[in-house]
Amino acid sequence: MPGVVDPFAPAKLGPITIRNRMIKAATFEGRTPRRVVTDELVAFHRAVAAGGVGMSTVAYCAVSPDGGTDGHQIVLGDEALPGLRRLAEAIHTEGAAASAQIGHAGPVANPAGTKRPALSPSRMLTPWMRMTRAVTDDDIARVTTDYANGARVLVAAGFDAIEVHLGHNYLLSAFLSPKLNRRRDRWGGDVESRARFPRQVVRAVREAAGGGVAVTVKLNMSDGVRGGLEPAESLAVATMLEQDGSIDAIELTGGSSLSNPMYLFRGDAPVTEFAATLPPMIRVGFKLFGRRFLKTYPFEEAYFRDDARRFLRALKTPVILLGGINRLDTIHSALDEGFSFVAMARALLREPDLIRRMQAGTASEATCIHCNRCMPTIYRGTHCPLDAEPAAAR
């Protein structure tokens, strides 16, 4: 039933206004093999924007060459600017706002792809069976500057919003994790010290973005691993970010790309499909032991909602609800409860025009079945394999 808050009415997000309260969440598109915008990436976001979302979020933009996951993400340098400008214009032409997620992969990076050592708060062995390098004070200063410079590139390209990635055990998220951050200097220890670097980065992005662009963060509530970040400390981090006055909204997420990605996705674990994408020497082992990495969590719509309510009650900052949102009645109830926006990913991957059809009254629920077979496609043109292969993948 319709609620008090109209999800299709324009809404303020910091200094900008977007046409409705539905946001296309940042998810790997797999359409930037040379680290710059391609026609396929423009078409991907144009379709989502034409499909009715208030804002479409480009993912994942690395702030430096060593900040990508596999060497195929957009790097926010001058060479990316013309394509980013074209991408923002395409989204705007369809009536939506343009956002970009920026980050540094840290220990999630695969050195075989980036051709650079992976960075982390403390030395560790990654799933790629490589040792990371613990960042130095000089690294922290350099990465902070990289974030600020990346924000300036996006502003110059005409983006309306910037999302700083503080989730999934990427570099800033790894600093927040008591499991991954075992430092004994000013960057490690209690939660305030572990949050020092991420807060420094967010402040730098806010200053570089200026007053006309919205700045949001995507923050893990829980890493989903023993000894990792949990909701109590995550809420403390969110409170610090709010007190810093650097953010216009916070999107809440969870899970670790290093050790528990299914905590984020929920639903079926596509072990066989993932194994098929791996080199033959690794494929057999993944088929045998992959379920230790891709654990199974039963799907429940809006599965982050219960944890997110704790943040909603404690913060004045607008909260964006993420996590398996499929139905219009769920959107209504979330907004009436006090969430400012909802973010959707897999549902829009299969049906980029879902929001437009919901507004027209011809759809009330997504057809996504959360089989998660889209996950293994992320490096070859992310798509729903239940539908036709995209032209770029054929």
Q: How far is CA 119 from the centre of its chain?
A: 19
Cis-peptide into 60, omega within 30 deg = yes
Q: Which of 170, 297, 303, 379 is catalytic?
A: 170
Q: How many CB atoms lie within 10 A of CB 49?
A: 23
For the chain, the first-to-last Cα distance in angstroms comes to 42
Query: Residue 227 corresponds to which tokens in the numbers above?
Result: 């000894």
Could you tell me if 227 and 261 are in contact, meaning their C-beta atoms sit under 8 angstroms apart? no
Q: Rounded to the nearest 10 degrees, what angle do helices 231-244 and 305-314 cross at?
A: 40
Supply the Cα-derived Rg of the chain in whole angstroms: 19
- Check if 303 is active-site: no
Annotated catalytic residues are: 170
